[in-house]
Structure 1
């Protein structure tokens, strides 16, 4: 999804003009004009568009994170395969990860929380890896396995 698609998505969301205006740093009237098509999204101030697209990305990441948590909490199969909806994300055994997660031996982090945790734990080697990768969510277990998703 490109930036203009993200901007369209958030502008077409259930959020109120007031909520969008607060995020974008612009008036409700301006938001309303964009939503009604009286002003073109392509002509929105760059800073406002950037704030809105960043917020949309955060919403999508939060939804993805919550979907994975719900999936792991409710996983009932005794083995996993490529047919599992999130198997491609993990490239690992979803059953084992679900078991670890539900027993408190597996953990999910957002990228920001993972980097904060690594900085606090002064794990410089893993911090270098974490800051060089493109990912949104991290799975970590008590055995030290780390998956960047």
Structure 2
């Protein structure tokens, strides 16, 4: 059962978190282009929908992670606690900062306003932090400090 849960956890991470990191990273430059005569409003709207949808789907990742960790008996391991904390911080950044800022920029684009460049720079920074946190969690999941698997 542990291998099955771990497989679902990894698949959920790839399918759910991957699209959010890519779409969120593409959003700031697309928003800047959307505020020009060339447009691109549909692209910005699509990227935001992708982020929202896969963020919701991403809830499966920690749920399956907790189930896997419980089955493996490692809920108290330090690397896992750090991973859980970093995951919570990443999710908080996505929900509290990235998605709302995307919505603000999307409204500006929809109203035909020029997009606030400093807002896209700030969004790019927050998205980068979100992506870096997920990369760190991924490394911790693979390396698992203190593991006897030889990794």
Task: Report the TM-score when normalising by structure 1.
Answer: 0.31
Which structure shows the bigger proportion of residues in helix conformation? 2
Q: Which has the higher contact order (CA 8 A, sep 6+)?
A: 2
Task: From the two aligned structures, give the one with the greater strand fraction.
Answer: 1
Q: Which has the larger radius of gyration?
A: 1
